[in-house]
């Protein structure tokens, strides 16, 4: 599908609202207690080589089926997986080990709790992505929360100055990508020509005209530090790496764009039509924001399989849904996952590969970790 006219988009939104009103209170953001992550120790590491190249496609992923054969991680394992590296703007790197407190069963959802039967993947017959060409939308919430990562991926603003993206956009499991030393984040902004056109009544109409004629373009911001969980690293989480394909970037300057909160859902059964949404910068539509939605086909505690149409470049996009706020009439969008991408999954650990679109889910533990990265203080992270 190509660019869609504004009226069609508006109509879709009206329909969506109409549908929302018929859904009762069961679609409410659940309230969660979140485990506590504490920093044990931070030690300096040698600077990374920054020599890795972005993988075209991830392969050998141990996906949902494969993970069913793995033992559940112990608390000790989880602490290893959630320990993390930080890379600073000046190229230095540290390793931080963490401890996990207050974890209970409800927070670690069983691997078995898989839902719908798996559909055989036969996607991409019809391309169901929408290019958001109208800058009224592309530079406004919720689309404005989508950002481009200079290594070629997408990401999403989760605070005024933190971006959530996929770990593989930063690190290939062995080393950091060669663009990470000068990592930047692009925010889609309307071009505004300002100033010298004079004062008075003409100025307004002229500047409006120049805004109307300009296509939004990226405004790039430097990244101050990058955090990646050790669970993503080779040799730390064999078999579980896909679950840890997320990273957080702190920007040097807040771009003054609205961000989207993180949320946790117990199961896709909680979602209206099991449907998720994400927008990113797919490679085949350069400079354009591309939006899509689809239903989740299968889930584990840490992954969603879905069949949203997506091209490379959209990896790292924030996967969001809209549910009611508890006790309120208002609906709120929150990010419940990170789009990891098209992956070749080792289904039965026998080398037989099938392809899927995989998204990493925000679990209570990952929520705790990301919240800690962002706030540097766990007291802000006790409930979601």
Ligand X SMILES: *[C@@H]1O[C@H](CO)[C@@H](O)[C@H](O)[C@H]1NC(C)=O
Q: Which residues of the shown chain bind ligand X in the complex (CB under 6 A)?
A: 88, 90, 92, 110, 112
Structure tokens given for 203: 């100025």
Which tokens is 314 given?
């959209």
Exposed e or buried b per residue across 282-314, where buried means at least 16 C-beta atoms within 10 angstroms of its C-beta: beebeebbbbbbbebbbbbbbbbbbbbbbbbbb
Closest contact distance (angstroms) between CB of 252 and ligand X is: 11
- Kindly state the smallest distance separating residue 112's Cβ from ligand X, in Å: 4
Q: Which is nearer to ligand X, 114 or 357 (CB)?
A: 114
Neighbours of 24 (CB within 10 A): 8
User: Helix 364-375 and helix 75-82: axis angle, to 10°?
Assistant: 40
Beta bridge partners of 171: 176
Distance CA 380, CA 384 (A): 10
Compute the least distance from the CB of residue 368 to ligand X, in Å: 22
Residue number, 92 or 97, with CB nearest to ligand X: 92
The CA distance from 112 to 100, in Å, is: 23
For 188, residues 6+ apart whose C-beta sits below 8 A from its C-beta are 138, 139, 143, 144, 146, 147, 148, 216, 217, 218, 219, 289
Q: Which is closer to ligand X, CB of 87 or CB of 257?
A: 87
User: Cβ of residue 88: shortest distance to ligand X, in angstroms?
Assistant: 4
Structure tokens at 233: 């690293």
> Residue written as tokens 């859904």?
23
**Dist. CA 109–CA 64, nearest whole Å:** 13
> Which residue, 288 or 301, is less far from ligand X as judged by CB?
301
Give the residue nearest to ligand X (CB): 112
Of 104 and 112, the one with the shorter C-beta distance to ligand X is 112
Report in angstroms how near the CB of residue 338 gets to ligand X at its nearest: 25
Give Cβ neighbours of residue 111 (< 8 Å, ≥ 6 apart): 67, 68, 70, 72, 300, 301
- Smallest gap, in angstroms, from Cβ of residue 107 to ligand X? 14
Burial zone of 333 (CB within 10 Å; 0-12 exposed, 13-18 middle, 19+ buried):
middle
Cα separation, 368 vs 288, whole angstroms: 33
> Least distance to ligand X from the beta carbon of 43, Å?
13
User: Closer to ligand X at the Cβ: 156 or 365?
Assistant: 365
Q: For the CB of residue 370, give the shortest distance to ligand X in the complex, in Å.
A: 20
| H-helix or E-strand spanning residue 273 | none
CB atoms within 10 A of CB 55: 16
Q: Is the dihedral of CA 45, 48, 49, 52 positive or negative?
A: positive
Q: Which is nearer to ligand X, 111 or 230 (CB)?
A: 111
Q: Which is nearer to ligand X, 88 or 331 (CB)?
A: 88
Nearer to ligand X, 90 or 136 (CB): 90
In the complex, minimum distance from the CB of residue 224 to ligand X, in angstroms, rounded to a whole number:
8
Give whichever of 209 and 375 is closer to ligand X, judged by the CB atom.
Answer: 375
* Shortest separation between residue 195's beta carbon and ligand X, angstroms: 36
């Amino acid at each position: 599908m190509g660019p869609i006219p504004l009226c069609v988009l508006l109509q879709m939104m009206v329909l969506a609202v109409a549908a929302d009103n018929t859904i009762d209170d069961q679609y409410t953001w659940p309230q969660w207690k979140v485990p506590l992550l504490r920093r044990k120790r931070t030690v300096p590491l040698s600077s990374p080589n920054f020599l890795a190249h972005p993988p075209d496609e991830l392969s050998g992923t141990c996906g949902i089926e494969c993970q069913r054969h793995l033992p559940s991680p112990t608390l000790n394992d989880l602490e290893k997986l959630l320990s993390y590296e930080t890379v600073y703007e000046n190229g230095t790197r540290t390793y931080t080990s963490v401890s996990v407190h207050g974890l209970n069963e409800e927070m670690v959802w069983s691997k078995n709790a898989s839902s719908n039967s798996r559909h055989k993947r036969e996607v991409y017959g019809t391309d169901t992505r929408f290019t958001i060409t109208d800058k009224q939308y592309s530079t406004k919430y919720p689309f404005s929360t989508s950002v481009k990562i200079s290594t070629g991926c997408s990401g999403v603003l989760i605070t005024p100055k933190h971006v959530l993206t996929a770990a593989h956009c930063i690190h290939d499991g062995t080393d950091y990508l060669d663009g990470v030393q000068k990592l930047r984040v692009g925010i889609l902004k309307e071009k505004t020509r300002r100033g010298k056109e004079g004062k008075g009544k003409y100025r307004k109409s002229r500047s409006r005209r120049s805004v109307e004629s300009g296509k939004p373009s990226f405004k790039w911001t430097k990244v101050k530090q990058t955090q990646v969980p050790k669970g993503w690293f080779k040799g730390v989480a064999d078999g579980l790496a896909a679950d840890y394909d997320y990273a957080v970037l702190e920007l040097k300057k807040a771009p003054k764009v609205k961000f989207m909160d993180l949320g946790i859902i117990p199961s896709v059964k909680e979602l209206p039509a099991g449907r998720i949404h994400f927008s990113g910068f797919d490679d085949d539509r350069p400079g354009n924001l591309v939006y899509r939605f689809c239903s989740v086909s299968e889930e584990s505690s840490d992954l969603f399989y879905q069949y949203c149409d997506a091209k490379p470049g959209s990896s790292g996009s924030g996967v969001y849904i809209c549910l009611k706020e508890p006790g309120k009439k208002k609906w709120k969008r929150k990010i419940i996952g990170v789009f990891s991408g098209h992956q070749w999954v080792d289904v039965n650990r026998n080398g037989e590969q099938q392809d899927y679109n995989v998204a990493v889910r925000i679990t209570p533990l990952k929520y705790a970790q990301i919240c800690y990265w962002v706030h540097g203080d766990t007291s802000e992270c006790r409930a979601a």
